[in-house]
Amino acid sequence: MSDYHTATRARIRLFVDAPLSGGQQVMLTRDQAHYLFGVMRQGVGAPVLLFNGRDGEWRAKVAEAGKRAGRLDVVEQTAAQALPPDFWLVFAPIKKARTDFIVEKACELGMRRIQPVFTAYTNSERLRRDRLQAHVVEAAEQCGGTFVPDVAEPVKFERLLADWPEGRQIVFCDESRDARPMAEAVAGLTGPAAVLIGPEGGFSAQEAARLRARDDVIPVTLGPRILRADTAAAAALAILQSVAGDWR
Q: Indicate whether 137 belongs to the interface with a second copy (CB under 8 A).
A: no
CA distance 69 to 151: 28
Q: Indicate whether 184 belongs to the interface with a second copy (CB under 8 A).
A: yes
Q: Which amino acid is at 76?
A: E
Q: Which span sits near a second copy by CB under 8 A: 49-57, 105-113, 121-129, 205-213?
A: 105-113
Angle at 178 between CA 230 and CA 215, to 5 degrees: 85
Binding mask 22-61 for a second copy (x = CB under 8 A): ----------------------------------------
Residue 97 or 162: which CB sits closer to a second copy? 97
Q: Please work out the total of residues on this chain that contact a second copy, with binding judged by CB under 8 A.
A: 38
Give the H or E element holding residue 239.
helix 229-244
Q: Which of 182, 194, 195, 196 binds a second copy (CB under 8 A)?
A: 182
Q: Indicate whether 83 belongs to the interface with a second copy (CB under 8 A).
A: no
- Dihedral of alpha carbons 161, 163, 166, 170, sign: negative
Give the H or E element holding residue 26.
strand 25-27
What are the two backbone dihedrals, phi and then psi, of residue 77, each rounded to the nearest 5 degrees?
Answer: -75, 135
Q: Indicate whether 96 belongs to the interface with a second copy (CB under 8 A).
A: no
CA distance 244 to 247: 8
Q: Indicate whether 101 belongs to the interface with a second copy (CB under 8 A).
A: yes
Give the H or E element holding residue 89.
strand 87-91
Q: Indicate whether 6 belongs to the interface with a second copy (CB under 8 A).
A: no
Whether 82 contacts 218, CB under 8 Å: no
CA distance 242 to 248: 6
Q: Which of 123, 142, 176, 206 binds a second copy (CB under 8 A)?
A: 142
Least spacing, CB of residue 59 vs a second copy, in Å:
17
Q: Which of 110, 149, 154, 198 binds a second copy (CB under 8 A)?
A: 110
Restricted to residues 185-204, the positions that interact with a second copy (CB under 8 A) are none
Residue 28 or 148: which CB sits closer to a second copy? 148
Cα atoms found within 13 Å of the Cα of residue 78, Cβ hemisphere only: 22
94 by Cβ neighbours in 10 Å (0-12 / 13-18 / 19+) ranks as buried
CB atoms within 10 A of CB 129: 15
Q: Which of 179, 183, 189, 208 binds a second copy (CB under 8 A)?
A: 183
Least spacing, CB of residue 248 vs a second copy, in Å:
6
Residue 161 or 238: which CB sits closer to a second copy? 238
Interaction site with a second copy (CB under 8 A): 82, 97, 101, 104-105, 108-110, 142-145, 181-184, 221-228, 231, 234-239, 241-243, 245-248
